[in-house]
Structure 1
Amino acid sequence: MPPTAGMVFDNIALMTKIYLAVDPSGAHLYTWEAWTTWMQVAEAPFAMCSIAPGETVERIINQKRRTLRHLPPGHTCDAGTWLTAFSLAVSCRDENRVASLCQITPAFLREASEKHGGAYDEYIYPWIAALQDFILNRPTLGDNLYQAMDLSRPENASISDAESLNLLVFPVIESLYRLAQQDTEKFNEAMEQGTRLFRAYYTADEERSRDTNGAVPLQLFGIACMAYDLAQVVPGFNPDLESGYLPKHILERSRYSETEL
């Protein structure tokens, strides 16, 4: 992947967040198209890292079919980027990309993350494993969730600061924990707390209030989309997903059939 790929990804992400600032419910087609393109660009490096040198893989990106070639592990396919790609793929209901991302092991992501001296807090690897467990219905979900929750406590901060873990990370992990229990009341409480703490973090000072990462709590939104879909098939699970931070029309798949993924 050329050196400019990271800049392209950042520009697409920024453009999508600007669209959401103007269209927070995601009602317009241009917002949905930007959102899906962001997802496609985020997932592409993992498709490229999953094939052998000399092999190719095809992906639709920005409404065109592209042929992608092998990419060695590195920062473009590390643990943080995986969480972004996964959350976006889940929100787009792209089952093929979600399945593909769930085949990327935490061990691979650690290797990619630590190349060239990079690092993440330790919670991230059992957290990724727990997300994969949930999708693949693996029995290790509980163990990985408990480990991720323990390692994401503020006192365990090593790379991130304690405030980020407390306000942005732990609430998302707890939301998946409550979703796995299919307990409507506790899930609603976890989601309400997650959006409230997200808002508190990104409105704490003027600099943060200008940060486009505060446009949407992406990982929490991914959990919300999984909850919305689960509610369609599980009687008695009726989550309250009304929030100005959760783009309603993406959540409810209003334009799902209007763009080829």
Structure 2
Amino acid sequence: MTSPTKISRTPYDPGENPAELLKGVDARTLREIERVERSPHMFGLTFGKTLSTAYIHCLHDPTANASETWEAWVAAMQTGSALFASATAPEGATVECMIAHEKRTVPGLGGPTHFTDPGTWLQAFWLAIICRDQPRMTQLANVPMELLRGSEAEFEEYIYSWVEALQTYWLEGEGLGDKLVAAFDGTNPENLRFVGRELMLKILYPPLNVFYRFITQDDEEFDKALVQAVELHHDYWTTSDEERSEDLDGAVALAPLALACLAYDAGRPITVESEYLPENLLDRSWLGEFPT
């Protein structure tokens, strides 16, 4: 049996009253969620807030052992999916979305906005995988590429092929290999326009390699790629730049975690142990705890 590879996150100081802190964070996040029924154009900010709240819970609860942590992750997943449900609904229509234990009536945005970009789509899709919500994965996989391109946000071209590859994989469509090759080709650091070389090599590229090893069903190479992705995540957020260690985005390796969840559900061995991959999210311990 392969011994586990342990990759520790930089120690986090929870402060004097972490329970009170988390209670306040959750209350503010709920207020953000409640306003999307009145102001759907704030969806992007609300989604960012819910994801940050999920990360904050994992800083205090590294294995995601508390029910409040699971609730925070589900709320983030629900908000990300609702964002795209609203964007794909006609203007003037409404969609019913479950967010934070309540069914909410959200106005349709009727098309792309500045926050319906491929980066937001990837975050929403990763969350749906982590929460094992297959209907929402299917909903997101059917989001048209025109909507993502219509955001007019500046992204490297590779990301559109990456999104298409994931959509094709989940919907069992044709051309997965070609789309993945196009995504790989677009990550060449020499051709980058909008992101730095370090961000590409340590954060954006590794999930493509992990996914490739997953679909080729090479357990050993998948495990190596996953370990490397988590190590690079740690290096990027804690070693390379001291200021980054304060950034919540480094608390969890979102894309590697989602891909590890896919592999776990497929019965693949996962040897890496890390706070970046919270144990109870990876092994779906909370699944079915409450309707999502």
**TM-score normalised over the length of structure 1:** 0.92
- Structure 2 Cα separation of the partners of residues 142 and 4 of structure 1: 36
Deviation at 1:182, TM superposition (A): 0.9
- Structure 2 Cα separation of the partners of residues 95 and 241 of structure 1: 25
CA contact (8 A) 1:16 1:34 kept: yes
Structure 1 partner of 2:250: 214
Unpaired runs of 5+ residues, structure 2, are: 1-35
Structure 2 partner of 1:129: 164
Structure 2 partner of 1:198: 233
Structure 1 partner of 2:120: 81
Structure 2 partner of 1:247: 278
Deviation at 1:7, TM superposition (A): 3.4
Name which of 188, 191, 205 aligns with 1:170.
Answer: 205
Residue 175 (structure 2) pairs with residue 140 (structure 1): yes
- Structure 2 Cα separation of the partners of residues 143 and 241 of structure 1: 30
SS of the residue corresponding to residue 68 of structure 1 reads strand
Q: Write the letter of the residue equivalent to 1:65.
A: K
Q: Write the letter of the residue equivalent to 1:68.
A: V
Q: Where do 4+ consecutive residues of structure 1 move more than 6 Å? A: none
**TM-score normalised over the length of structure 2:** 0.83
SS of the residue corresponding to residue 65 of structure 1 reads strand
CA contact (8 A) 1:56 1:67 kept: yes
Structure 2 partner of 1:54: 92
Q: Write the letter of the residue equivalent to 2:205.
A: F
Q: Max radius of gyration: which structure? A: 2
- Structure 2 Cα separation of the partners of residues 109 and 201 of structure 1: 27
Name which of 92, 95, 101 aligns with 1:63.
Answer: 101
Q: Write the letter of the residue equivalent to 2:222.
A: F
- Structure 1 Cα separation of the partners of residues 107 and 155 of structure 2: 27
Q: Write the letter of the residue equivalent to 1:136.
A: L
CA contact (8 A) 1:33 1:259 kept: no
- Structure 2 Cα separation of the partners of residues 83 and 10 of structure 1: 13
Unpaired runs of 5+ residues, structure 1, are: 232-236
Deviation at 1:43, TM superposition (A): 1.5
Residue 221 (structure 2) pairs with residue 182 (structure 1): no
Structure 1 partner of 2:144: 105
Q: Write the letter of the residue equivalent to 1:30.
A: E
Aligned Cα root-mean-square deviation (Å): 1.4
